[in-house]
Amino acid sequence: MNIYFMIDELNRDAVVASALKKIFLKKGHNLVYGNRSSNRLLKYFHEAFDVIIFPRPHIIYDNWGDDWLTWSAKFVTLSTESLGIICKDHQVMAKTLLDREYFEGKRQYVDRIDAFCFWGEKQLQAVTDCAP
């Protein structure tokens, strides 16, 4: 399986990407790093990837509009924010994890994402409370 991982903030995301690359490699999968520049090009070679991992939904549709809604790859969001530590307001946390558009009724983007990965119970609880 080929996996694309978007590195948004180098120092923080590179550590996670490096750890995931080692884990996936042991299972026979290939993880490729991308960044803000390469994201725009992904629309030309997205078919090379089985899974595409991004930190937040808006980064996906900011780069490709609605085109990605028809791609065959599985989409996963892996939040890279330490929201469970710094944010006590579940509504603010949920809006950060799912993006403002979801709460404005534009749910097709969140609905298209195949898996949401959260760092800990606080992030999961915020989404469960505010966007079940």
The most confident of 40-49, 80-89, 92-101, by mean pLDDT: 40-49
pLDDT surpassing 60 at residue 84: no
What integer is the mean pLDDT of 95-104?
Answer: 87
DSSP state of 70: G
Of 92, 30, 40, 81, nearest in space to 61 by CA: 40
- As a whole number of angstroms, the distance between CA 17 and CA 128 comes to 27
pLDDT in tens, 5-28: 988 777 777 788 888 999 999 999
In this structure, are residues 34 and 46 in contact, taking their beta carbons and an 8 Å threshold? no
Ordered by where they begin, the domains of the chain are: 2-130 (3.40.50.2300)
Q: What does the pLDDT look like over 41-51, one tens digit per residue?
A: 888 999 999 99
Mean of the per-residue pLDDT values of the chain: 86
Of 117 and 73, the structure prediction assigns the larger pLDDT to 73
> Does residue 67 carry a pLDDT above 60?
yes
